[in-house]
Every structure is written in structure tokens, then in C-alpha cells.
Structure 1
Amino acid sequence: MIYIYNDYGGTHTTSMAAAYHLKQLPQSERKLTSEEIINIEYFNKLTKKDFGKLIFHGKDEDGNSVYTIGRKRNKLLVPALKELTLLLQNNFHFNEKIVFSNTSPTVPIVMSFGGFFSRGLKIDFIGVPLLIIGAKQCCDNIYRLVEHTKHIGHTSFNENVIILDNEMFK
């Protein structure tokens, strides 16, 4: 199985989700420390050239691959990837189940501003503190989103490609 966490930039909530999924962060709903947040691989490190790229984060305890992708405002990227996957499955005997999980609903407004200042305007002294505040606000939601994503991946036997919008995590 392949898990792909996606959102606008692919560097904040998606990186947090991948870290939770791979057990690189405490497996609980407790608030993360600033140090834990800053040390998440790829957190606030991707740039515009990374949009649309699948970033591999590792394999989970079950051997499933975990990726992230920044899709910008393009709401058609994930459906297009689903269609490509179905084409590969139907025509080339690609049998891997893929779960696309949208982390955008977990993003608090302060994190959006932090990402804009840090990634967009390159003003880290304003953006990074806002990102840390936002990450602390949403880390419990991201943890629950990851647990939900893994549960759906393990229990949806009839679907080869699953798209989770995760609106319940707003």
C-alpha cells in the first residue's frame, strides 16, 4: 500500500502527517514541542520547485510507503493521479493500493500566514514562529487524521484507490 498525504504546499501539515505515520513523533494527541516541530524532516524546507513532486518519507511498520505532495490550488492533481493509478492497475497489472489523504482541513489560519511569510516572502523571523504556533494548534488533529487514514487503508478492501478529503478534521 502507498499513502500520499497532500495539501497546498506539501511542507508543513503533510510533513507532520508523514512523521506521525512513520512514528517519528510521539504517538499521542499531546502538543508537540517547538524542537519536535522544527526537527520534522521537510518541515518548512520545500520550495516552489518541489510543488507537484512526490516526496518519499519512508516505509511504515507494515512496509507501506509514505509520500507527500504539494498540489498548490490545483484540485485536479489528486483526481488525475487517481486516474493514472487506475490506468496502471488496469493495463499494467500494478496492484498497489493507494490512499490519498488531504491534510488541508487541519491547517489553522496562523499556519497559513506563517507559510506565506516564510516560504512565500522568505521572512523566516516572522513566518517560522507563526508556523510553530500553528503546528502546535493542529498537531492533535493531524495525529487523528493519520490514524483515520491508516484505518481506512487497512479496512477498505474493495477499493484500490482511495481519496480522503478529511473535512471532518476542520
Structure 2
Amino acid sequence: MIYIYNDYGGTHTTSLAAAYHLKQLPQSELKLSTREILNVNYFNKLTKKDFGKLIYHGIDEDKNPVYTIGRKSSKLVVPALKDLTLLLQSRHQFDETIIFSNTSPTVPIVMSIGGFFSRGLKIDFIGVPLLVMGAKQCCDQIFRLVENTKQTGKTGKATNGQKVIVLDNKIYK
């Protein structure tokens, strides 16, 4: 199993999701502290050159690798990666199940604004506090999204015998 969390920038909700997945954050729906948020690997650290790159975060407790990707506004990235995976599976006996889990539904507007100021305009003194505020608003939703993603990995089956699962997700309340 390979897990790939994806969203627009790949540096905020995806990094938090990877950290929850890898148990680098408290495994609960409690609000995170500012320190916990800012200490998450890759949180608000990726740049424009990192868009479209798979970022490796680690191996989970079941020995599954966890990645993130920033796909910008392209709706084509995940379908293209799905098709590539299916091609590899059919042509080269690549037998690994891959789960693409979209974290975008968890992003509050304040996080989008903070990301624009911090990553887009390089104005961290405005952007970072907004990002932290947004992360605190959505951390419980991200935690539940990760739990759902992991549960799908343990019990879910891809359609038509294919070993690719795409989770568009929703807000988990």
C-alpha cells in the first residue's frame, strides 16, 4: 500500500495529514498547539519548484510509505498518476495498491489566505499566523480524514480489480 495525500499546494493540510498518518502528531481530534503545527515536516516549507513532485514523509506502522503532492489547480494530476499506476500494474507486474487522498475539502479560507501571503507573496509575518489559525481550525477534520484513509486502505477495494483508490473526501465533522 502506498498513501499519497494531495491538495493545491502540498505543504499545509497534506503535511499535517502525513504527520497524523505517521503518528508524529497526537492521535486525537484535539486542537494542535502552534508549536506542534510549525514543527510538522514540510509545513509551509515547500515552494513553487516543489509543485507536482512526490514528497516522501516516511513509513507508517504497517510498513506503508506515505507521500504528499501539490497539484496546483490542475484536475489532471491525480487522474494521470492513476493511469500511470494502472499502466505499471498491467505491464510490469506492479502489484502495489495506491490510495490518493484529497485533503482540499478540509482547507479553511483563512489557511488559503495565509498560504497566499506566506508562500505566494513571501510575507510570513502575515501569512504564518493565518496558516496556524487555519491549521487549528481544521486539524480535527484532517485527523478524521486520515483515519478514514487508513481504514479504506485496510478494508477498501478498488473498482474492477484495479489497485488504485482515489478518495475525493468530504469535510469530516
Partners in 1 of 2:172 and 2:47 — Cα distance?
26
1:40 aligns with 2:40: yes
Q: 1:37-116 to 2 correspondence within 5 Å?
A: 37-116=37-116
Partners in 2 of 1:80 and 1:73 — Cα distance?
14
Q: Which residue of 1 aligns with 2:16?
A: 16
| Displacement of 1:168 | 4.0
| Displacement of 1:159 | 4.3
| Displacement of 1:123 | 0.1
Give the match's secondary structure for 1:167.
coil
1:167 aligns with 2:170: yes
Give the match's secondary structure for 1:63.
coil
| CA displacement 1:107-141 (0-9 Å, x = unmatched) | 00000000000000000000000000000000000
| CA displacement 1:23-47 (0-9 Å, x = unmatched) | 0000000000000000000000000
Where structure 2 has 5 or more consecutive residues not aligned to the other structure, the ranges are none
Q: Which residue of 2 aligns with 1:144?
A: 144
RMSD, aligned CA: 1.0
Partners in 2 of 1:142 and 1:38 — Cα distance?
16
AA matched with 1:166: N
**Which portions of structure 1, spanning 4 or more consecutive aligned residues, are displaced by more than 4 angstroms?**
none
AA matched with 1:95: D
- Taking structure 2 as the reference length, what is the TM-score of the superposition? 0.96
| Displacement of 1:156 | 1.6
- Taking structure 1 as the reference length, what is the TM-score of the superposition? 0.98
Count of aligned residue pairs for this structure pair = 170
Percent identity reads 76
Partners in 2 of 1:19 and 1:68 — Cα distance?
11
Partners in 1 of 2:65 and 2:151 — Cα distance?
15
